[in-house]
Amino acid sequence: MVDIHTHILPGMDDGAASLREAVRMAADAVACGITAVAATPHFFTPSDPGSFYRERDAAVEALRSALREAEIPLQVYPGAEVRPDEDFAYAPALRAAALGGSRYLLLELPFRRLTALQVMGIADSARERGYRPVFAHPERYTLFHRDTNIVNELADQGVYFQVTAQTLAGFGTKEECRFAAALCRANMAQFLSSDGHGARERRLTIASYEVLRQAGISRKQYEFMTDTAPQCVLSDKSLPARQAVFL
């Protein structure tokens, strides 16, 4: 499996607090079958994007070195979880934030009241600049719960969605869990990721299919979201077409 959304880099955000914890997170990942991760620290509107990338790249190299020393077979790719501003003013600086050097860009919407027009504008701005937008944890956005037509329109325009594995397993609010399962059953979620933040809580693990089938997904869907689609990200290829059943 490949996990495209993790906070494994120590000291970059609210994820791993130390290199030791990051190594423990990597061991957890390998134990559940993950072979590669995108390290996606939070990227808010920075005054100096170059400084962020230098710090991230140094953290990636330090973690890779520690994993080699610990003989933990986990590949780590650079990326970021981007919180866009409304006009996407810093979009030209985002090329290095894309996942693993691809054109796939992991986006986290602001957790405040947004209009459908603003959300569509964020997606359009990303696509116009050549990115393939991936919306992180759509099950957490109340705007999508209230109006699923927004999700349908985003999907129709080429936006991808990454659902959090723990939510699909039932760890979240009732509405978040219901919405995550509905997205997956409708073939509208392309990625299943951990959003792992630590070695104790919000761990870097993806539950097995035997656990997640309770959400109503097929084994084929599970394999697509944890392997086929993420592998396309790492190789910067287009995702295979799937027939979506709109919400």
Q: What is the mean pLDDT of residues 121-126?
A: 90
pLDDT at 46: 66
Average pLDDT over all residues of the chain: 93
Q: Which domains does the chain have, with CATH numbers?
A: 2-234 (3.20.20.140)
Q: Please name which of 70, 140, 130 lies closest in space to residue 109, comparing C-alpha atoms.
A: 140
* Complete DSSP assignment for 180-216: HHHHHHTT---EEE--B-BSSSSBS----HHHHGGGT
> Which residues contact residue 107 at a Cβ distance below 8 angstroms, ignoring those fewer than 6 apart?
81, 82, 83, 84, 122, 126, 133, 134, 135, 136
Q: What is the mean pLDDT of residues 43-72?
A: 93
Position 244 confidence tier, pLDDT thresholds 50, 70, 90: low
Question: pLDDT by residue (tens digit) across 74-91?
Answer: 999 999 999 987 666 666
pLDDT at 22: 98
Residue 72 has pLDDT above 80, yes or no: yes
Position 114 confidence tier, pLDDT thresholds 50, 70, 90: confident
Residue 106: DSSP 8-state: E
pLDDT at 243: 60
Percent of the chain having pLDDT more than 90?
82
> Which residues contact residue 241 at a Cβ distance below 8 angstroms, ignoring those fewer than 6 apart?
none
Question: pLDDT by residue (tens digit) across 131-185?
Answer: 999 999 999 999 999 899 999 999 999 999 999 999 999 999 999 999 999 999 9
Position 110 confidence tier, pLDDT thresholds 50, 70, 90: confident
pLDDT at 86: 61
Position 92 confidence tier, pLDDT thresholds 50, 70, 90: low
Q: What is the mean pLDDT of residues 221-232?
A: 97
